[in-house]
């Protein structure tokens, strides 16, 4: 997807895209860390709670990984 954005994008806009993707990645990293902290606070015996809490964490991590890949393409 990032490659498609860059096809006809002037260098100035590429720099702006890189800045925005970097900012989004940083925000997602904070969210992943916060979600992981909340999971760590859950009772280990609460298996259902652990499973339920893992789902959004996995989604956040997938988004974080996608943005990391986008940052590499923009570099």
H-helix or E-strand spanning residue 34: helix 11-41
Whole-prediction pTM: 0.77
Does the structure show a pLDDT above 80 at 22? Answer: yes
Give the per-residue pLDDT at 37. Answer: 94
pLDDT of the residue at 5 = 63
pLDDT tens for 26-74 read 999 999 999 999 999 999 899 998 999 999 999 999 999 998 988 888 7
Residue whose entry in the numeric block shows the structure tokens 């940052």? 71
- Segments making up each domain of the chain, as ranges: 25-40+47-75
Element housing 5 (H / E): helix 2-6
Burial class (CB in 10 A: 0-12, 13-18, 19+), 67: buried
pLDDT score recorded for residue 35: 93
| pLDDT value for 57 | 94
């Amino acid at each position: 997807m990032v490659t498609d954005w860059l096809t006809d994008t002037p260098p100035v806009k590429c720099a702006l895209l890189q800045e925005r993707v970097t900012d989004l990645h940083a925000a997602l990293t904070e969210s992943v860390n916060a979600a992981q902290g909340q999971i760590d606070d859950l009772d280990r015996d609460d298996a259902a709670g652990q499973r339920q809490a893992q789902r959004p964490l996995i989604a956040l991590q997938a988004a974080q990984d996608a943005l990391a890949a986008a940052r590499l393409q923009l570099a």
